[in-house]
Amino acid sequence: MKSSGAKKASITLPSELEKALKRLAQKEHRTLSGVIQEATRYYMNVRRFEAIQSELAIKALQKGVKSEDDVEKLIHELRASK
């Protein structure tokens, strides 16, 4: 995937990781850069999800939600009030 405004970056990888990434890129008929870009986007999305999950966990605890059963109860209460 080409993106406008792309910048070059120099990174250091352990030899085995570089070999594995090159094999994967070759197997998928992609560039090494494309594989690393996708892995980086995935990592950033996972971290963003974890941050949101942490914030919501704090809010849930503040509201007394401590288990899946508590979530189910709140859902039923909300649906019943409509």
Return the axis-axis angle of helices 15-27 and 32-62, rounded to nearest 10°. Answer: 100
Question: Taking 60 as the threshold, does the pLDDT of residue 1 lie above it?
Answer: no
pLDDT tens sequence across 16-64? 999 999 999 999 999 999 999 999 999 999 999 999 999 999 999 998 8
Amino acid at 41: R
Contact 21, 35 (CB under 8 A): yes
Place of tokens 């963003």: 48
- Rounded (to 5) percent helix, strand, coil in the chain: 70, 0, 30
pLDDT tens sequence across 60-78? 999 889 999 999 998 999 8
Greater model confidence, 82 or 67: 67
